[in-house]
Amino acid sequence: MTERQKMLAGDMYDPFDADLAAGRARARDLCQALNATRETEQDARRRILKDLFGKGGESVWMQPPFFCDYGSHIELGERVFFNFNCVVLDVCAVKIGSYSLFGPAVQIYTPMHPLDAELRRRQEFGKPVEIGADVWVGGGAIILPGVTIGPDAIVAAGAVVSRDVEERSVYGGVPARRLCSIDELVERMKQDHRGYPWHDLFESRQVPLDTLRPTLDRMRIEHFFGRRKAAA
């Protein structure tokens, strides 16, 4: 097996291998070019993203700066969104489902290091990360190696996710733990209207309901806002 094959399989590998070093250099050059683009240079930005990612570069919504190890091991569904300053260390596969959102400074890690200090000097290994569709990860959250996040889940800002996240659930804290289901969150929003921060945006139509992902169950939210407006 080549060192890249070992790496992607989650086996111990030599990170100083010439092929891997060249792959990292390629990704850093592409990220540097991406991060130097202006907002008016959307065509150039799109070309770079298509070259950088293994899949999904044609539709990803990216706010630079962005940083990754290889890029080619990142597979994105349709219209994934990365806000400013996200980092994806993709020594193993990172798969992200369609319409998932990542707030500023979210970090996704796949690299692992041996506990033995001498071995750690020359070898490492990794574990893949898989994130479902319509996931919302808040700013500053960290996704650790080997984690799977189910579809429609929400990870609170600043969380450190070290274990799998159930679908349609809200996780937060350090380490992250399950706080409630999406349905439970919607019920809490109904009980405390003043605590929900998006109301004014929806009322002004600045953020159409059908484009905000994940929806937190769109029909329930529309019903909730309708009741609040009637009460006002």
* Cβ neighbours for 121, distance < 8 A, ≥ 6 positions apart: none
- The label of the residue with tokens 């293994």 reads 54
Gap between the terminal Cα atoms of the chain: 67
Strands (E) across the chain are located at 61-62, 66-68, 74-76, 81-82, 86-89, 94-96, 101-102, 107-109, 111-112, 125-126, 129-131, 136-137, 142-143, 148-149, 154-155, 160-161, 169-172, 177-181
CA angle 140, 110, 104 (to 5 degrees): 20
- Which residue has tokens 């274990």? 163
CB contact at 8 A, 36 and 151: no
Q: Is 199 a catalytic residue?
A: no
Is-contact 100 81, C-beta < 8 A?
Answer: yes
Which residue blocks in the chain are alpha helix, DSSP H?
A: 3-9, 18-35, 42-52, 117-120, 182-191, 199-203, 218-231
Q: CA-based angle 221:227:232, to the nearest 5?
A: 125
Catalytic residue among 73, 113, 193, 199: 113
Active-site positions? 113
